[in-house]
Amino acid sequence: MRKTLPFLLISTSLSTGVAAQTIPPALSSNLVFNPSFEDYRECPRKIDALGKLTIVDAWYQPTAGSADYYNICGSRDCGVPRNKLGIQDAHFGNGFCGIYCSKTDYREYLQTELKEPLRAGEMYRVSFYVSLSEYSSGAVATIGALFTTDRIGDTLRSVLMDKSIKQLAPGISQTVATYFEPQVVNDYDRVLDDTKAWMQISGVFTAKGGERFMTIGNFYPASQSNVVDLDSLTYLLPGAYYYIDDVSVTCLGCKVETNPESDSSLVAEVPMTYADTLKVGSTFVLHNIFFDYDKATLLQQSYNELHTLLGILQSHPTMKIEICGHTDGHGSIDYNQRLSENRARAVVDYLVSHGIDVRRLSFKGYGKSRPIDTNTTEEGRAKNRRVEFVVKEL
């Protein structure tokens, strides 16, 4: 049975047919959705070295390193307090996640989108708790939290790097990779070695403005992570494995306004009763649907949005929709037409694989024929690259 988030949804909420409401102070204080990993789509069943974190609301893994989910409802592999990779009670509630922060440069990370972008010049306090698995073969110090304006990720299973293109000469370029610098990181001299109690990592930083994504993990190479071997560990695992729980990001000086017009960053989109907002012919943009570059392969960052759509379809069993794919203005007409069709088909395939009757679904690609913004700027092109659904029948 799927547990649900509170009435506030992550920003992957459908942008049409929602009402703007001011976030009450009690709910707006923590900018992290599902901070203790209590909301999930299904109980965890196994630890898969090549798996993807897809069943925890609002959280996902940004690399090929397989983050894990644990809950008291889980299987023997994924239970709380006992599981395949250790023994630990949750710091809060019934669930938590786990990642390798490693003695080697193998890494796993957790990533989420915040309720609102961080505000330039404001100070934010970050806090989360970690506990070392006693099955580890060592401990590290440098676990931290990185805040970025855009989603970051990689297809590799190593230290997450900041990659950029450097132009060496006309027509000649190379990819330059540097280590990310997390805004908040545990002190190098404080090795996170407790396997019994939860250890808090916290810190305060000043936002540049616009940071919306938070990534948790170890962003330093093994040689700079203060790796320590401990006699108390069983050495059953190949590296330093940590449970993560109870994450918070709070603004220390932000004023909470009661008038949503006074500051749009305090306004959240919350779903109204869809029976009152859905009607035949309504078009809804699916935000945060991501594909591999120039491909129709859905990325795991899309799953939160797609599960929102699944919920709508399940609560309206007679509704039929058409999935519409759109591209920006780059590329030929024929290429964009094929790409948009294939991406729309990928969304339909996903819905069918999760139990939606294919007879309720259709798809169509429009290529670059229906832009909603200019194609002369990156921001405009990003808006034009979109997936929508149109209500055909109710």
pLDDT given for residue 268 in this prediction: 29
Q: Would the pTM of this model clear 0.75, i.e. be above it?
A: no
Helix 303-315 vs helix 333-353: angle between axes, to the nearest 10 degrees?
60
* Domain boundaries, given as residue ranges, for the chain: 18-251, 273-393
Class of domain 273-393: alpha beta
Number of neighbouring beta carbons within 10 Å of residue 198: 19
Strand order in the sheet with 213-218: 59-60, 110-113, 213-218, 143-148, 184-185
pLDDT given for residue 256 in this prediction: 52
pLDDT given for residue 263 in this prediction: 36
CA separation, residue 277 to residues 21, 282, 304 (Å): 16, 9, 21
pLDDT given for residue 6 in this prediction: 31
- Using the structure block, give the residue that is written with the tokens 């789509």: 41
| CATH code of the domain occupying 18-251 | 2.60.120.260
- The full length of the chain comes to 394
pLDDT given for residue 133 in this prediction: 98
CB 12 within 8 A of CB 304: yes
Whole-number CA gyration radius for the chain: 22
Of 309, 361, 327, the closest CA to residue 15 belongs to 309
Which two tokens mark 291? Answer: 């594909």
**How many Å separate Cα 183 from the centre of its chain?**
18
pLDDT given for residue 81 in this prediction: 97
- Using the structure block, give the residue that is written with the tokens 């809060």: 92
φ/ψ of residue 94, rounded to 5: -120, -10
pLDDT given for residue 293 in this prediction: 65
Q: Which residues of the chain carry a pLDDT beneath 70? A: 1-28, 255-276, 292-293, 300
Of 300, 287, 284, the closest CA to residue 391 belongs to 284
The half-sphere exposure of 33 on its side-chain side, counting CA atoms within 13 A, is 28
What whole-number distance in Å separates Cα of residue 35 and Cα of residue 244?
A: 10
Residues 6 or more apart in contact with residue 81 via CB below 8 angstroms: 87, 88, 89, 90
